[in-house]
Chains A and B, each alone.
Chain A
């Protein structure tokens, strides 16, 4: 999650200004510390010596060290203003639209033009501008994927926008960056930047209706379909709940519970059995499944790719 490993135009623009300011700051710090060290070494009191000359000030000196910082600030202000305008510009035509809904404590991602809905793992094509529209139904969150750029708050009642073009395929981590309650620390996400062809394959997989599961997974699906799960979750062709994450391609995601755990049959079974034990304050209740039922449901969910 390093802010200095830039993987988008937005992040690189920021890094450009970051670098300038860091150098300027380092030089100023050096000047001040060197000055401090020198005066402390050079001007010591000697017992019995008379008081030093009682200099009260020096107008020219004071003027220069007022003007000098102002000029130095120009070095920072000019690139700052330039980058503000470049990064706040409206996105180019043909930008991919993604609706981001930050909720306690997970991320919902919808691609309206592609009829795709998913959660906690955002896929983007490399080299294409994306406009993220941020909103939320509960409290303020903040969308932050450091390698792809700066953060932007999710403010209920407002639409905030973030525009960027990821340039390098890879997997990037993000996390909520505005304190939002009990599991604020557990509201992570993954962003997978694919080469365009791979992204198209992913989109196609998202849109497909999952195949009928066989074996223990079938039992799991039966449990899912008959319990309260369907009230909160959507699985294409099975249920249409909107309170919790869309699970249509859950099995293909790399992490569970918004980046908390790797997505394996064991972790999923533990989660399904007792989410509250893993994620403090989570809204998903424990449904009183037995261990066997939980494993079956996990097996089913892992087939959803």
Chain B
């Protein structure tokens, strides 16, 4: 094995190197993929014949729940992340991501979140209400045990991991590109990654809110999904699918990006119409937010026609890509490597999956197909034929770069055909099963239904897929132990990652070349006129991120928090305290490190400011969802008190004024720090925090007064929506106050100077945002009738 693999285990725990983190993601995700695969095989064994007795009904319901949850959140998403982590910095000519320690934190949260979810098996309570967890089956009334609690807590933990990664990669891609690499000169895989990260940071807040509602209903007795209290069960479905539809693009766009790299490389010509492929990716991401209720055509809502048209429209940018890929191959000099096999496989299989998707876009047809095996076929064609095949293509393509070894091409092609055949045998018949009326999520069926034969065939195919996965593992093992060494550029590649050794050195590139257009590296090699070869040495000092223990420890704190939610409040408090301590240590670890003072990027904006703006964008969706729920439920409470009977507008006007004034003080604080006026900086920082505390004081008074008057979280919909909305806002204010006090203490100890102005500015942005949200809340909740 090459030297990079024999470092002691401890260094893997504190690593912040994007390449190592990519490997961690890849190995972890692959193991979870195997777990999800075993769950699938058990499902198929149970359904191989009528009246199956392989597992009980209860176990089966847990199996399909865990299979879906695992494959989406613990397999495909982190496998995508493995490639984001390893390849994006290399593809844009950076040496790491913008926030290497945050990157490590994302990984450790994923690992602990995934272990937490699967720990549910150990206590005999695996989640069993479906990966989509529809209310009110998920309520305490209908699923009293801890299975759903495991599910909703894990998803929230995993959501944090994804969100942090989203912010990280957006800043990296926008701010850290090689000189001359404009956005339109970025490789398409990087573009798809960028779109996916925006989808993540905007789509996760709605489901986070939906899960918070579910958690509060189950733990604290709120009424969000309580029909008797006036709750609307469609609320869960809306929140879930506003996340869920962008999520499918999160799952597939990276695969599209990989194919957009693999096909040009092995056809030896550029991606045909790269700008259009990029624009279509952006359009898909954007419009993907508008079509969520095509998952709800049978739910009994009103205007389905508009959503149907919108869904069909999205098919256009998707279909365009297929033609662009075909045109890339056309006129090329195609080398039929394994990576190319999988990429071509994706093109064919995703076409089938996309076409069955078009069928679902027509509500009349969908009313027959939804919740049947037809849609199970559709989703596996796009997720296996699409996402998984794309990931295999990426694996075969980038394996030499990552490991310094080649995978065996003969075994690889055999593996491809086994997976391809197994997959089609497993899932094509399911279109037919759906057409002849087999519903989904059923643990058994009767012989008289006429579904037996094709179910048996499907089961055989599933084991074919398993064999194919096994062959991949064999290929991987043989490569790692005695595979042929790989050169820096075994495929005559077109992009920057092939310009460095296999595997790359710790610092990725000895020199970072200027970029003159797309495929600069290829044009360098093949002697295109006008390309100046890059200098052979680089005078820029290479700063490498230092290893850190705080990511893994912070993630551990979060895991303890989650465990505490299922065990004892003392554990919750311990976990919270530990997490907060770790977060402070994390934040202060490089406080006085001169290499971290300036973090300017290509956009001319400091990394940390871009990060906060992205975060605030996600917070807009978070609070927007809470406010929208409040408005939707306004007037639907079955019992009082009602808003106009209890809200104290004069008092709240005062507290609003106080909060607005605190923003002014924050502005003064920042100005003072920027001109190094130590006295004034302390004064205004203190003032802002004080005014924030006063606001919180008003809120505490209000809450206790309301409870005395009979309005509690559990009383009615108004109580549930009001307290959760304003409570989370108050929580945000609290976080802001703590943040400001921390800055104040730093200043009092003489450790906050002009050079730290960016940190104060970032706190200020957060503080102003929280104020603006309050203005919205004050207007919509208090002032509007």
Contacts and interface: CB of A to CB of B under 8 A. Distances in A.
Given A43-B332, A43-B334, A144-B439, A87 B272 contact: no
Contacts of B117: none
Contacts of B334: 39-40, 43-45
Interface string A59-85: 001100110011001001100110111
Interface stretch (A118-126, A173-181, A224-232): A173-181
B299 A51 contact: no
A46 B333 contact: yes
B331 interface: yes
Contacts of B130: 179
B300 interface: yes
A139 B362 contact: no
A137 to B, nearest CB: 9
Contact of B362 (A21, A153, A280): A21
A54 B305 contact: no
A57 B366 CA distance: 37
A128 interface: no
B320 A69 contact: yes
A180 B137 contact: yes
Interface string B238-278: 00000000000000000000000000000111101111100
A181 B233 contact: no
Interface string A9-45: 0000110011001101100110011011001100111
Nearest to A1: B437
B270 A181 contact: no
A22 B432 CA distance: 13
A157 B234 CA distance: 10
Interface in B726-758: none
A146 B374 CA distance: 13
Interface in A87-136: 87, 104, 134
A245 interface: no
Nearest to B58: A182
A30 B316 CA distance: 18
Contacts of A35: 326
Interface string B98-138: 00000000000000000000000000000001100010110
B679 interface: no
Contacts of B145: none
Given A52-B333, A153-B298, A80 B61 contact: no
A180 B362 CA distance: 25
Residue from the set B134, B276, B315, B367 with the largest chain A CB neighbour count within 10 Å: B367
Nearest to A2: B436
B407 interface: no
Given A33-B351, A84-B363, A179-B130, A53 B331 contact: yes
Interface stretch (B198-206, B440-448, B577-585): B440-448
Contact of B358 (A76, A146, A156, A182): A76
Contacts of A58: 272-273, 327
B669 to A, nearest CB: 50
A56 interface: yes
B330 interface: yes
A207 interface: no
B331 A43 contact: yes
Contacts of A81: 305, 308-309
B626 interface: no
A77 B363 CA distance: 10
B270 A18 contact: no
A33 B234 contact: no
Given A21-B359, A55-B269, A181-B142, A62 B320 contact: yes
Interface string B309-323: 100110110011011
A158 B276 CA distance: 45
A172 to B, nearest CB: 10
B514 interface: no
A117 B163 CA distance: 53
B704 interface: no
A84 B297 CA distance: 11
A179 B441 contact: yes
Given A55-B269, A70-B316, A151-B367, A84 B304 contact: yes
B371 interface: yes
Contacts of B441: 179, 184-185
A96 to B, nearest CB: 20
B364 interface: yes
Contacts of B336: 40, 44
B137 A140 contact: yes
Interface string B278-312: 00000000000000000000111000110011001
B368 A138 contact: no
A183 B57 contact: yes
A157 B364 contact: no
B1 interface: no
Contacts of A178: 134, 298, 371
Contacts of A80: 305, 308, 362-365
A152 B367 contact: yes
14 contacts: A1-B449, A2-B435, A25-B358, A25-B359, A46-B333, A55-B270, A56-B270, A80-B365, A84-B308, A151-B370, A161-B300, A175-B437, A181-B143, A185-B441
Closest 8 pairs (CB-CB, A-B): A150-B367, A1-B437, A185-B442, A160-B300, A157-B227, A45-B333, A280-B57, A25-B355
